[in-house]
Structure formats: C-alpha cells, structure tokens
Structure 1
Amino acid sequence: MHLKRQAIMMASAMAAIFATVGPAEVHPHVFAEARLEVILSPDHQSVKALRHVWRFDDLFSSTVMMEFDKNSDLKLDDNELKEVADTVHASLAEFNYFQLVTVNGKDEAMSPPPQLMANFDNDQLIILFESEPKAPTRLAGKIDIGVYDPTFYTAIDFTEDANMQVAGLPSTCTSKVVRPNPDEAIAENQKTLTDAFFNDPTGTDMSKIFATKLELNCQPEG
C-alpha cells in the first residue's frame, strides 16, 4: 500500500509538496552538511541562541538554482536569494526549523527565527539562521541540541564533532557530541515503538532518536 506523507522540498517553487512513497522507500532525498553554534547569555548561565549553517548537496543546489534563476543568468541575485530564503522559512515553520532542543528529556519551545539568509558558495546552497528559546533555557541538568527532519526527507549531517560547538561553558557543565547507533536506538526505544513505525517511520519520532546531538550536562554549584 502506498502512503501519502508531506515532504519538505526546501527552496522549490512550491513551499511544500506531497510525496507518495511506499514504506521501503522512506529515505533521505536531500543532503546537507551542518554547523551549529550554541550562544550563551552574557552571564554564561543559560542558552541565548542557536546559530545554524547548512550547506546542501550539489544536486539539490542545482535544482534550486534552476527554480529561482528567473532571468536565466546562471546565478542568483539578491532578490532571487531572498525568495529562496523566504520559501525555506515558510516551508520549515511547521517543522520547528528542524531543531531538536530538550531539557531533561522534555521538548524546549523555540521562537521562530525572524528571517533566514540564503547564499551560494562553490555552487552549493547555504542556509543560515539564528533562533532563540521562547523562555530562558537555564544550564541545569541535561540539555540536548541537534537538527533532524521528522519527515526523513532531508538528511542534515554534522560530519565532524567540531561542527557542534558551545563556547564559555561554566565549570559546572560538560559537553559532548552524541551520535546514536541506529540499532541501539531502536532497541532502547522498542517498548515505545509500534507496528506503525515499521509501516511508516515518518509518523514517529525515530528520526529524532537517530539525530546527532550536542549534549550538555550541568550540575548545580556546590
């Protein structure tokens, strides 16, 4: 049986499309290398903002170029780049801009970024944006921060641990990059999985479980 799911095709002429896929066909179609910088408050006691940089693969980037190069000059001018950025901004809104932020296992609400920036470098599309927590995120307990696409359509990868950074952590905190093993992740979450996952992974939180995360662990001062 074919299953309908909404899949994000960032920066296409249509903000979002419906893709019809079979369960065995659920896999990424768009690939991006990412960098994430966690910005702390001036007193270094809370998370102030997240800065994201995504560099997309050549094939997707060329598709974006063709879609948005209205004057066919093989480059995107400022107005065309703004249209790309605005399209991506609108498309990702319902997916929380692919952001994963949890505090002690509970989702942390993030404010939508006021805008996104788009650029091309070496013929690759680059998306940049910054977002802030809706309420101050204090450095206490375990905080996980990452990026994932709940539709499984886009694979956003941190190719090196150094691409996830936080500067100025207080001495009561530690940080590490966590790259879950898919088999172990499924085994650890087996009790919460249902047959629905194996029929349609896009209807579950599995891509969130698989996501690479920057894990901050902070202890109270004592």
Structure 2
Amino acid sequence: MRCLYCNGVMLEEIGWTDLFFKRVEDPFCDVCRAELIRLEGPGCTVCSRGMETEGICSDCNSWAEDPVFQDALISNHSIYAYNPALKELIKRLKYNGDYALAGCFRKELTDLLKPFKKEAILTPVPVSADRLKERGFNQTEALLECAGIKYEHLLLRRNGEAAQAKKLKRDRHRGENPFAAIRALDGEPVVLIDDLYTTGTTIRRAAQVLKESGAGEIRSITIGR
C-alpha cells in the first residue's frame, strides 16, 4: 500500500485474525496520520470547538439567542481540528479533484454514523449546480459513498452563491438562506454531513430549512472543525 497523503510505501503486518475478519486499512502512514489532530478532550458540547473546560462556547451562545436559528441544530460533532494537514487534504479533494482522498475517513464516518442509520435520515449538505459542474462531484457525497454509507440526497437543494470559504465571518451570517427544501418531513430526525464546520452558518442554515420542512431533531457531523 501507499499512503494517500504522501504516497510513501507502507509495510503491512498480517495476523491470523485477518483471515477471518474484514480489516479496515489505514490509508495514511504513521507520519501523516500523526499530523491529523483528533478533537478530543474538553470542548463545546454543541459545536465541538476545543476549550479549556467543557461547556458552550460564545459562538453557540450567540446562535442560541437568535430566534431564527436557536432550535435548528442540536449539536455538531467534528472529527479533526482544521490544521495545515487537513487543509491540504480537503483542498486536494475539493479543488484538485483527487477523488481517492474521499475514502480517507471511511472508518471514522462509519463509526460515528452507525448509531443513526436506523433512526435518522442521513443527508449531505448539497453544493450549488455551478459548484457541482465546476468540481464534477459533491465532496460530501463522495465521503459517504467511499465509506459505503447510504444517504438521502433529496432533502435540500442549494442555489448558486459565492463560496463560504471566500467570505469573512461577519458576511457569512448575512444574506438570504441559500438552501431550499425539496420535500416535506414528518418529524424524522436528520443528521447532516459536511466536510468542514467553520462558523456554523452553513450547517445551521441547512438545519433551519429542514426544521421548517418538518424535521425532528437535527444533528451534524463534519470531518474538520
């Protein structure tokens, strides 16, 4: 095997258990794996932001005071801190079209989404038609497909707009909601999946629309925070 990040050769040790149980191989070598920082320890119980003590961060307190968004999102769970290593991985997947990288997080996503498969609708945050045409794929759908996770893609659509990554924080909270519901829901819980949680605006806007369309509790899971 070769590491999907640095392309270096990785030696594998095979034990007797591998003859009887399907093994999930790590796509990264030990050096590259060490550069990805898991979000563990004290943090915001709502958005996974790292903090000195567990609680609710100032951003989530502000969201809770906004009558439009206060009941939209129950919680967000992010897997990794957004550091240079993760930034490069996401860049190569989204902007360089390196589709193979979508399989890098299959074990993490499978483990996190397993409890929700029977009781909730799993759905990726959609991209606009212009962005889909430009990239050729929705990177979040790619993450789920490479992990073999079934999802519902007919809950939301997204209108064309400037990329959130190019906006200042204050500008992300302004303007019209770019999402629209495709069908009505009847109290079903929903788990939104996306690649990154930055300010929380995108996730909460999507959650707001789903809530208005009849969804039950809404949570989200992202690769980076």
- Taking structure 2 as the reference length, what is the TM-score of the superposition? 0.27
Could you state the TM-score of these two structures normalised by the residue count of structure 1? Answer: 0.27
More helix per residue: 2
